[in-house]
Amino acid sequence: MFRIKICGITNVTDALAAAAAGADAVGLNFYAGSPRCVAPDAAKEIAATLPDGVARVGVFVNADVQAIIEICDRLALTYVQLHGDEPAELVAQLAPRAVIKAFRLRDTDRTPINAFLAECKKVDAMPTGLLLDAHVSGHYGGTGATADWLGARAVTEWLAPLPVLLAGGLTPANVAAAVAAARPWGVDTASGVEISPGHKDQAKMQQFAAAARDALAHG
């Protein structure tokens, strides 16, 4: 499982810069409601240019299973990230593809996560990892709002050894503190390293990756 993901990549230049900065995963967002949405053809070009060792993560929100499978297989995605209200059955339908399920953390309420994982056990299909994002009503991530780090730590410890990624308002300035507080397996940022939605700041990506790498190594 990757440790540092730059999400919302929309062009080859930013993808290569993210990889050069030290990110070991890039996120390609296929949710039409996102300002970082990328068309499959453009995403295929981006995915093809990435160096080996950099994971290609497709981000989907309440998408049709066949549409996910088609994009995943066409682009040879490394991971499918489900960032909506998807049921556990979808994890089974996507097998053997690696799935990361995102949850928008509301305080320390583990009920949605617990219910989802219980259903996963019933269908004998567990996600590869979970991602914890900030809870903003009516939004499926990418808001820049900061997640509850201490709440995320409680969930991370509860779910061990299942890898948990932390997202939600992470920037070069706060990622070290976030890692120290939440103790996640890895981190994920989109708006925290941008000039504008979908357009990355190369210097910020370098600063973020360096700070995250150091914090994760000492976490």
* Domains of the chain with bracketed CATH: 4-217 (3.20.20.70)
DSSP 32: T
Q: Which of 14, 37, 120, 133 is catalytic?
A: 133
7 is catalytic: yes
Q: Which tokens hold the place of 123? A: 């269908």
| pLDDT, tens digit, 9 for 90 and up, residues 109-156 | 789 999 999 999 999 999 999 999 985 555 555 556 788 899 999 999
Q: Which of 7, 37, 72, 120 is catalytic?
A: 7
120 is catalytic: no
Tokens 């949850």 found at? 103
User: Which portions of the chain are predicted below pLDDT 50?
Assistant: none
pTM, rounded to two decimals: 0.94
In whole angstroms, what is the distance from residue 208 CA to residue 195 CA? 14
Q: What is the pLDDT, as a whole number, of residue 136?
A: 52
The distance of Cα 37 from the centroid of its chain, to the nearest Å, equals 14
Q: What is the pLDDT, as a whole number, of residue 145?
A: 75
Radius of gyration of the chain (CA): 16
DSSP string, 19-43: HHHT-SEEEEE--TTSTTB--HHHH
Q: What is the dihedral of CA 112, 115, 120, 122, to 10 degrees?
A: -170
57, β-bridge pairs: 27, 79
Task: List Cα–Cα distances, 164 to 117, 120, 182, in angstroms.
Answer: 13, 16, 10
Q: What is the pLDDT, as a whole number, of residue 9?
A: 99
